Amino acid sequence: MIYIDDTLLQKLEAFYKGERKLTVLTGAGLSADSGIPTFRDTDGFWTVGSKNYMPEEMGTLRMFRQKPLEVWKWFLYRNTICSKALPNKGHFAITELEKLFGDRFRLITQNVDGLHHKAGTSEKRTYLIHGTLEKVRCGEECSKAFYPFPDFAFEKNQELTAEQSEQLKCPQCGDYLRPHVLWFDERYNEKHYKLDSSMRTAKETGLLLTIGSSGATNLPMLVTESVLSRQGMLVDINPNANAFSELAYTKKNGFVIRAKSSDALPEFVELFSQLKRKA
Ligand SMILES: [Zn+2]
């Protein structure tokens, strides 16, 4: 094994024989190998008239209330990029882990790009804590209905046609629909973003793999701290230093693999496949 050393190997074998859950937590770094930018910093600039907006300004309920069509244009453009992208080896390895672990598996993802779904990970064991670009809902919450994301391609500097603008309206009340994503000025909740389910899963987790996430948002960090507080293991897989690896370095049950998930995750699949064959 290249990425899993002997100490980690022994711990993973002991974990496999137990009953606690395998939870995989993923962030934007996983989808970088599929060509999806993070849409933070300069990747996410959006120009309205002569003014540049930061993603933290565009992706807000406040901006949606002020300029719904500008927010929609930004999301249509992002969705156009995401809808062309394909899952990579990392996504497929995670799907294999679900097959190996069945109901001991959970996926908590910050990614809204739909690539886990495309790779075949089941919806019932996936918590989309930042929502998904696959769905929209009424911006006024007039009902509990979800609708598919509008399917027209949209480039930067394009204008919406009247017909396209109509497609962005709720069929029930006529107000604007919104992407089913958590905005920067909104809070996590169970109804849309599986806050309680994620925290409950953390309590049952014996092995947490954090993948391609910087730890910049608070729910992933709360999940991680909860796992560690109950003697669960944390393995951070990321080519870059981040908040999870910093935490892992300070804990007996913490491990850091400085590699791309598309390289390191197949080794976990191979190991657990071997253990399953032996069992
Ligand atoms: Zn409505």
102-134 confidence digits (pLDDT tens): 999 999 999 999 999 999 999 999 999 999 999
Structural domain containing residue 245: 6-36+87-133+188-278
Let me know if residue 16 belongs to a domain. yes
191-211 per-position pLDDT tens digit: 999 999 999 999 999 999 999
Let me know if residue 274 belongs to a domain. yes
Of 131, 146, 96, 94, the closest CA to residue 116 belongs to 94
Tell me how crowded residue 276 is: count the other CB atoms within 10 A of its CB.
12
Distance CA 61, CA 131 (A): 14
- So what's the pLDDT on residue 41? 62
Residue 164 CA, ligand 1 centroid: distance in Å: 17
Residue 171 CA, ligand 1 centroid: distance in Å: 7
Of 13, 150, 29, 17, the closest CA to residue 80 belongs to 150
Let me know if residue 50 belongs to a domain. no
In sequence order, the β-bridge partners of residue 107 are 24, 126
| Structural domain count of the chain | 1
Vertex 91, ends 85 and 95: CA angle to 5°?
Answer: 130
Let me know if residue 160 belongs to a domain. no
Q: At residue 50, does pLDDT exceed 90?
A: no
- So what's the pLDDT on residue 174? 97
52-75 per-position pLDDT tens digit: 888 889 999 999 999 999 999 999
Residues 6+ apart with CB under 8 A from 21: 101, 104, 105, 106, 201, 204, 205, 206, 207
Residue 46 CA, ligand 1 centroid: distance in Å: 27
In sequence order, the β-bridge partners of residue 26 are 109, 211
Confidence of residue 217 (pLDDT cuts 50, 70, 90): confident
Let me know if residue 78 belongs to a domain. no
Note if 180 is an active site residue: no
Distance CA 34, CA 104 (A): 27
Q: At residue 227, does pLDDT exceed 90?
A: yes
Range from 37-41, 92-96, 241-245 carrying the lowest mean pLDDT: 37-41
* CATH code assigned at 230: 3.40.50.1220
208 sits in which H/E element: strand 205-211
Residue 137 CA, ligand 1 centroid: distance in Å: 8
Catalytic residue among 91, 130, 180, 192: 130
* Mean pLDDT to the nearest integer, 149-169: 93
Let me know if residue 142 belongs to a domain. no
Q: At residue 43, does pLDDT exceed 80?
A: no
